[in-house]
Amino acid sequence: MSTEESWVATKEEETSNAQLALDPSGYDSRTGIYHSLHQLGEDFQIPTRHDLDTAKYVLSQFPHPDHAESKVALVDLATNKQVTYAQLSRSIRALASGLYHALGVRKGDVVFVLSPNSILYPTICLAIFSIGAILSPANPINTESEISKQIRDSGAKLVISAPEEKHKLSKTGVPTLLTTRLSNDDSVSVEELVECCDPIDLPPVRITQSDTAAVLYSSGTTGTSKGVILTHANFIAIMMLLKWSAYASSSQHDTFLCFIPMFHIYGLAFFSLGLFCAGIKTVLMQKFDLQTMLDAVQAHQVNNIPAVPPVILGLVKYASKVKCDLSSLRRVGSGAAPLSKELSDGFREQFPWIELRQGYGLTESCGAATFFVSDEHAKAHPASCGRLVPTFTAKVVDIETGLPLPPCREGELWIKSPTIMKGYLGNEEATAATFDSDGWLKTGDLGYFDEDGFLHIVDRIKELIKHNGYQVAPAELESILLSHSEVLDAAVIPVEDEEAGQIPMAYVVRASNSELTEEQVIQFVARQVAPYKKVRKVSFISAIPKSAAGKILRKQLVSQSQQLVTSKL
């Protein structure tokens, strides 16, 4: 039974009984299942029509033609070029026509996309979807070997690349289409296909919701990177949830700022797909820079910024020291990595007029799972990442016994929803290990729901430090370290110890001119935690390595610590 089929099969049974035994957290003590306390409503039902693809759905949500010619969809921050919804629609259809007729891309062909954020990125993604091809985006900072591996693994038939990344593709042997033409290159580009191809000449391709739409590669921060298979049904479901979220939080008329990488599920779902379904305007940054972001907020009167914890940290630590006007900003979201209570409190203290709302999701769940609809709830539960969004159910499973747990008991989070991936590409073993027999996705995250149904993520189970039989969560220690006035950033990793098994070691980025010592850091943490949680070693570093989504790359720090130990022997 597929993931989607198992979700449908169990959802009917769960829903029929759900309202009879739920406590205020949404927990059903008879089944051990947590249910969403939010309802989509009649205007936001997920389409059941089988012959519907992602692009067709997005285009159907565009503003009425009378408004589409004047309503701005995208603004390029670097050039101030604007793209209206009508122009975006024509570009998508023209590129789809060019990919099909000029380049021979067919249904099921994988198109590998290697590019930083650009106003062409949504056009490229939706054009690929509209002809039934499969999108596989990649991080442009990846090395040549990493890119070659992903191209081989995905079976890509065509690469669409930014000109500055072309040199990484010479050994792949896969045909390459540049986004813009190089001065010394006569080959056709995406821009030229958009300009010269007939947007009416669309290919007659039958695409269904169950067809594969994209293969996204997980960051691999805790293991080997795997190809996550997402279907058109997954994307359509997440777009409906994002549209619901926009209207539920009155964001449909906001101006959003995008610096989240569009190759990541967070950026792809939000900025290449979801926000278009609510008719929202997005100002697009190619890459993140704090001062550029602050300037963009003022220049374009930005109201809403989906962000990641390092950006929140940067605002708290640096924004007060630079000249900026953030009066237009009313909401900042945070996702992709945990946001500590200390950092949340620090942000709200410094920017009391800005709502800060954390969410939780995975590439495997199309970026969704929990979210705050109300700022009142976000303030009351600053350490939480919100409640389950509509269509989601969850379990918290005891790691030792495998039994479901009630509120306020920590265990592994399992989730189920129509947004959940089909599986891992070419990796049946990993897919089987990730799903249980009833289709529940095992997230690998340790957490719990409180009495009001708000999710609290403690840490990744594989990243927990085992000290003398106790479990120590790195994220807890990192939040304490970040509360120190002389600490700009921090990460905690396990270090092998002959007596204790593992001990917590901290990597710390000091503030400029700080003379903070190892002993001072150790004592600062020790005063706030149980003895077994104390940091035992500290190393000062210029920057904490992180993924594009803001996740700490602990593997790099563990490797660095091992090299440090070896060099001392």
- For the stretch 290-306, what's the b/e string if a residue is b when 16 or more beta carbons lie within 10 angstroms of its beta carbon? beebbbbbeebebbbbb
Does residue 167 form part of some domain? yes
Nearest residue to 388 (alpha-carbon basis) of 452, 442, 443 = 452
Cβ proximity of 9 and 418 under 8 Å: no
Higher pLDDT, 5 or 141: 141
**107-127: per-residue pLDDT in tens?**
999 999 999 999 999 999 999
Nearest residue to 98 (alpha-carbon basis) of 137, 122, 120, 128 = 128
Q: Does 531 share its domain with 422?
A: no
Q: Does 131 share its domain with 25?
A: no
Q: Does 434 share its domain with 474?
A: no
Q: What letter does residue 359 receive in the DSSP assignment?
A: -
Q: Which two tokens stand for residue 409?
A: 């008991």
Q: What letter does residue 532 receive in the DSSP assignment?
A: G
The residue-averaged pLDDT of 214-219 equals: 84
Confidence of residue 8 (pLDDT cuts 50, 70, 90): very low
Strand order in the sheet with 369-371: 360-361, 369-371, 387-388
Report phi then psi at 210, rounded to 5: -80, -10
Q: Does 454 share its domain with 476?
A: no
Confidence of residue 18 (pLDDT cuts 50, 70, 90): very low
Last residue of a domain, one of 447, 463, 479: 463
Nearest residue to 387 (alpha-carbon basis) of 453, 445, 447 = 453
Pairing of β 411-416 and β 393-397? antiparallel
Q: Does 458 share its domain with 504?
A: no
Last residue of a domain, one of 231, 249, 272: 231
**381-411: per-residue pLDDT in tens?**
988 999 999 999 999 999 889 999 999 999 9
Does residue 447 form part of some domain? yes
Domain count, the chain: 3
Q: Does 90 share its domain with 220?
A: yes
Q: Does 5 share its domain with 144?
A: no
Q: Does 86 share its domain with 227?
A: yes
Does residue 14 form part of some domain? yes
Predicted confidence at residue 565, as pLDDT, reads 55
Residues near 274 by Cβ (< 8 Å), separated by ≥ 6? 238, 239, 241, 242, 243
Q: Which two tokens stand for residue 376?
A: 């009142």
Q: How many contiguous H segments (helices) and E segments (strands) does the chain have?
A: 17, 28
**Dist CA 418 CA 238 (whole Å):** 8
Does residue 194 form part of some domain? yes
Collapsing DSSP to helix, strand or coil, 485 comes out as coil
CA dist 303 → 297, 298, 300 (Å): 8, 10, 9
Q: Does 177 share its domain with 159?
A: yes
Cβ proximity of 455 and 449 under 8 Å: yes
Q: Can you point out the beta strands (E) in 454-523?
A: 455-460, 465-467, 470-472, 487-497, 501-510
Does residue 53 form part of some domain? no
Nearest residue to 259 (alpha-carbon basis) of 58, 546, 548 = 548
Q: CATH number for the domain including 149?
A: 3.40.50.980
Beta partners for residue 176, in sequence order: 159
Residues near 398 by Cβ (< 8 Å), separated by ≥ 6? 404, 405, 409, 411
Per-residue H/E/C for 414-449: EEECCCCCCEECCCHHHHHHHECCCCCEEEEEEEEE
Q: Which range of residues forms the domain containing residue 545?
A: 466-568
Q: Does 116 share its domain with 145?
A: yes
- Residues listed for the chain: 569
**282-332: per-residue pLDDT in tens?**
999 998 888 999 999 999 999 999 998 888 888 888 877 777 889 999 999
Q: CATH number for the domain including 400?
A: 2.30.38.10
Does residue 119 form part of some domain? yes
Q: Does 125 share its domain with 174?
A: yes
Q: CATH number for the domain including 470?
A: 3.30.300.30
Question: End-to-end CA distance of the chain, in Å?
Answer: 54
Predicted confidence at residue 561, as pLDDT, reads 77
Collapsing DSSP to helix, strand or coil, 88 comes out as helix
Pairing of β 176-178 and β 156-161? parallel
Does residue 423 form part of some domain? yes
**237-266: per-residue pLDDT in tens?**
999 998 888 888 788 889 999 999 999 898
Collapsing DSSP to helix, strand or coil, 341 comes out as helix
Cβ proximity of 58 and 273 under 8 Å: yes
Angle 444-266-11 (CA atoms, 0-180°, nearest 5)? 60
Cβ proximity of 490 and 509 under 8 Å: yes
76 alpha carbon, distance to own chain's centre:
22
Does residue 361 form part of some domain? no
Is 568's pLDDT higher than 70? no
**Dist CA 549 CA 289 (whole Å):** 14
Residues near 530 by Cβ (< 8 Å), separated by ≥ 6? none
Cβ proximity of 426 and 149 under 8 Å: no
Report phi then psi at 347, rounded to 5: -65, -45
**Dist CA 490 CA 508 (whole Å):** 4
Last residue of a domain, one of 216, 231, 246: 231
Predicted confidence at residue 52, as pLDDT, reads 93
Q: Does 456 share its domain with 470?
A: no
